[in-house]
A = this chain, B = another copy of it.
Amino acid sequence: MTVKRGREFLQTPGPTNVPERVLRAMHRPALDPTGEAFRQLALDCMAGLKPIFRTEGHVFLYAANGHGAWEAALVNTLAPGDRVLVPETGNFSVGWKTMAESLGLVVDELPSDWRHGIDPAAVEARLAEDKAREIKAVLMVHTDTATGITSDVAAVRRAIDGAGHPALFMVDAIASLATTDFRMDEWGVDVTVAASQKGLMLPAGMSFTAAGEKALAASRGGGRMARNYWDWEARLVEAPSYRWFCGTGPHSFIYGLIEAMAMLEEEGLDRVFTRHRRLAGAVRAAVRAWGREGPLEINAMVESQQAHSITAILVPEELKPGEMRQVCLERFQVSIGGGLGRLAGKAFRIGHMGDLNEPMILGALAGVEASLRTAGIPHAPGGITAAIESLTEAPA
């Protein structure tokens, strides 16, 4: 067995690189979850997340991963048998849809080819048809981690408004929060779902639902789904603070989150977004360069929909992208994602979000180019040269 040395480059689209500062902040003794010190830390977390979600609503903190927050969003606001509209964006809209069905909701799906973002006109048309107002919520994935497509949240909001439809608007911002411009209140989002292990730069295991007034009102309505751990109302009390977590709060995440938020504040969200855009540009420049010869291409067909946090690259199935990924991981120590769902065996995915900079993404891309070469996948060399050009021309 080959012993690996040096740092493995983690370029899967989540979890992302946990910064040293955050790891250090989490390396702490536990503390009394009923005490004043813990209470203050938890308050700081809830307050500090609001400007990141751009909301005046309440941000609920869960010891759970992102799927837990998906469930929390649904069970707090909907009743068994409720109808929801899910415009397809890729494997993650499918996943949320499947969860909704398993919880007893009825799902209308707006299908997609996985290469384009949500069509707001289709959303508007479907809602307009719903004269009986049976649809209680629209569930949208902002950036789908499987397809690398970012859909337009504001446009979907306008579609809902255009149809004059009262459905709740729920957005999965797991792969966009703190990587891509997202404005919960301005865009009229009622519930936002997010998780720790992407733009928030923490390990996986913590997740969030942010809820605006309309969603909170819905949660207080009778007949909602049975729930306890996820229940917003029980977590909305002023004291004792352990109720905010339905039990013992996850102190190491709390410490880590405070540090991560401090890092985001130092850099400034706008500069965080600019940095993600710049690094995404380098990735796309490399892929386009590789694609000058051979079949590689970016999955997202519309440039404005190409995600700033993850790029899915199509590879013909017979070229076995899975074997290339194996070479990339084992020989070149760059960990990238494979195709999911409909793209399984037909794509690889490069995450470029979180605590990332130029040499990290360039090193990762170089590892990918070396792997394409080793695995014999046709491509034009020089992807990194193109990426370097893209970066040196981008605003710093």
Contacts and interface: CB of A to CB of B under 8 A. Distances in A.
Interface of A: 2-10, 12, 14-20, 23-35, 62-68, 70-71, 80, 99, 102-104, 195, 197, 203-206, 225-229, 231, 245-253, 263, 266-268, 271-272, 275, 329, 331-335, 337-338, 355-364, 366-367, 369-370, 373-374, 381-382, 384-385, 387-389, 391-392, 396
Pairs of residues from A and B, 9 with the lowest C-beta to C-beta distance, nearest first: A363-B363, A6-B357, A205-B250, A362-B366, A67-B247, A15-B30, A359-B363, A204-B248, A384-B384
Contacts of A268: 3
A246 B388 contact: no
Copies of this protein in the assembly total: 4
A293 to B, nearest CB: 14
A12 B34 CA distance: 9
A30 B253 contact: no
A21 B29 CA distance: 11
Given A18-B29, A251-B203, A226 B226 contact: yes
Nearest to A357: B6
B64 A229 contact: yes
20 contacts: A3-B268, A6-B356, A6-B359, A6-B360, A7-B357, A12-B33, A27-B27, A62-B64, A63-B68, A67-B228, A67-B229, A67-B246, A71-B229, A103-B227, A104-B226, A203-B251, A331-B358, A333-B357, A359-B367, A370-B392
A71 B248 contact: no
Given A15-B31, A358-B370, A366-B384, 10 more contacts: A7-B29, A8-B31, A15-B248, A18-B29, A33-B204, A35-B329, A67-B228, A205-B252, A358-B366, A373-B389
Contacts of A335: 31-32, 35
B9 A359 contact: yes
Contact of A64 (B35, B68, B263, B363): B68
Contacts of A246: 65, 67-68
B27 A10 contact: no
A356 B245 contact: no
Contacts of A7: 7, 17, 19-20, 29, 355, 357, 360
Given A329-B35, A363-B360, A197 B248 contact: yes
Contacts of A370: 358, 362, 388, 391-392
Given A20-B29, A356-B5, A358-B333, A245 B65 contact: yes
Contacts of A367: 358-359, 362
A225 B228 contact: no
A338 B249 CA distance: 17
A71 B5 contact: no
